[in-house]
Amino acid sequence: MSQSARAEAQIPPHAEVIVVLDFGSQYAQLIARRVREAGAFSLLAAPDTPIERLAALEPKGIILSGGPASVTEPGAPRCDERLFELKAPVLGICYGMQLACQLLGCEVGAAEAREFGRAKLTIHDHRDLLADIPATTTVWASHGDLVCDLAEDFDTLASTPNCPFAAVRHKKVPFFGVQFHPEVTHTPHGIELLRNFLYEICKCAGTWSMADFVETQCEHIRQRVGDARVICGLSGGVDSSVVAALLARAIGDQLICIFVDNGLLRKNERQLVEATFRDHFKTDLCVVDAGRDFLRDLQGVIDPQEKRRLIGHRFIDVFKRAASEIDGGATFLAQGTLYPDVIESGHGFAGTSANIKLHHNVGGLPEELGFELIEPLRSLFKDEVRQLGEVLGLPAHIVWRHPFPGPGLAVRVVGEVTEPRLELLRDCDEILLEEIIANNLYRSTDQVFAVLLPVQTVGVMGDERSYQSVVAIRAVQTQDFMTADWARIPHEVLATISSRIMNEVRGVNRVVYDISSKPPATIEWE
């Protein structure tokens, strides 16, 4: 049973598993990422996953996440009360600590003084969980409830001014709890605490590595595909490029990649994809030149949602036609679905989470395409996909490429999309990226792009009055793309970008810099 459960969750055969029960915390995915960064394979699961399902995964340890509910409220999420029968060490974080302590005989109630933000932690016991952490340190707290009466089977490990039991250990059951968030960067020694849990308490050996993932996934792909052909839709982005490179290693010439040139790409993007996959990886690459069809659909269209709808429909039609013309046909379609996509779509292990959204890579393609899906990245986070790309030998400019929207430049040309406006934006975008890269800012920003606005302004060029276009520059920094802050690009770099665009791109006489954060703004303009 355990092998089938691990296979269902796409756990590498020899990986040590840490299960994270998600009680609705905004940091649940971050906990899972921190565990993987430390060398163990994490898996998010629903809080009420039955103990039999957990046991089948053979976990080395279990982490109970925080959550917005109160354990004293009716209907608050609970875990299987037999959890401690597994004998695997358990770490409760915030809500997870309160719930586990309640199950083990402690009293939980509202705090007299709630803790939100930084708190001073004083450590009383430096063994196991808090080993090698300074006696006084800062932690990030976010709670209105706390354990107010500790049962006699517990030891107190640390406290804060408002929380006498900020870290605890059970004397008989392998349970540890912390009333703060070790997974966030605001807790400076949080990573050491998590590593102590993994290596000192769970006795992990750190067997999770990307090189092992490559070999196990290649073998899994070969067994599933057999002699059949596999189609991979290439976009030029990180996820589809890594999928293509992985499949190329696994099944060689059984793979055929389809790249749809929709006429909405960045400058020289088509040539970059062809050079990487046709020339470097020797992949069977089919390039479909469909730019005229897409631009004809977009003629006169201004509404951004209508742009997206028309582009999506045309892409499916073009892709379906190209797939039908493959010699000998194909059985499988490979997609770059990632672990966050699976979680947010409610398709995770044991129903990991509520169905937050239908992601375009999880059930979003029309069923009439008639392919079986292969999603070799569905157990990975974005940063792990980049690591995988490096292991597979993809060039750095693809591995570390910033996200690019599916509808391409159509949503960065605000207003009607025409070929002259696209060419103007491509030239501006190329200059922007050249300067960002030249000033070593590409890796310190998470998304940088130019936007062509549907307005013209007066200017003076060559002693003559001009009435030309406005281009906006957008640069953001973010960890998860759910929230983002505008990047503080040095003024001298912005000055160079602005000067080059107005001097080198005919038709632009004004450049502005977007200093809006998300929320309330979005990252893309449309």
3-state secondary structure at position 122: strand
220 among known catalytic residues: no
Q: Identity (one letter) of the amino acid at 33? A: R
3-state secondary structure at position 92: strand
Q: H or E segment at 170?
A: strand 163-170
Instruction: Give the distance, in angstroms, between the CA of residue 92 and the centroid of all CA atoms in the same chain.
Output: 24
- H helix runs in 19-148, sequence order: 28-37, 51-56, 95-103
Closest Cα partner for 471 from 456, 452, 495?
Answer: 452
In whole angstroms, give the CA distance from residue 474 to residue 291.
26
Going edge to edge, which strands form the sheet with 255-261?
Answer: 284-289, 255-261, 230-234, 332-334, 372-374
In whole angstroms, give the CA distance from residue 248 to residue 181.
41
User: 202 is written with which tokens?
Assistant: 């769970």
- DSSP string computed for 450-469: EEEEEEEEEEEETTEEEEEE
In whole angstroms, give the CA distance from residue 154 to residue 105.
10
Catalytic residue among 16, 79, 94, 189: 94
Catalytic residue among 106, 115, 170, 181: 181
94 among known catalytic residues: yes
Closest Cα partner for 284 from 322, 338, 238?
Answer: 322
Residues with Cβ < 8 Å from 425, sequence gap 6 or more?
A: 409, 412, 413, 450, 451, 452, 471
Q: Is-cis flag, bond preceding 188, omega within 30?
A: no
Residues in a beta bridge with 452? 413, 471
Catalytic residue among 16, 183, 269, 344: 183
Closest Cα partner for 310 from 231, 392, 430, 417?
Answer: 417
- Phi/psi for 353 (5° steps) reads -145, 170
Q: Given the DSSP bridges, would you call strands 230-234 and 163-170 parallel, antiparallel or unpaired?
A: unpaired
Burial class (CB in 10 A: 0-12, 13-18, 19+), 109: middle
181 among known catalytic residues: yes
Query: Helices then strands (H, E): number in the chain?
Result: 15, 18
Q: Report the b/e string of 34-57 with b at 16+ CB within 10 A.
A: bbbbbbbbbbbbbbebeeebbbbb
In whole angstroms, give the CA distance from residue 362 to residue 376.
13
Active-site residue list: 94, 181, 183
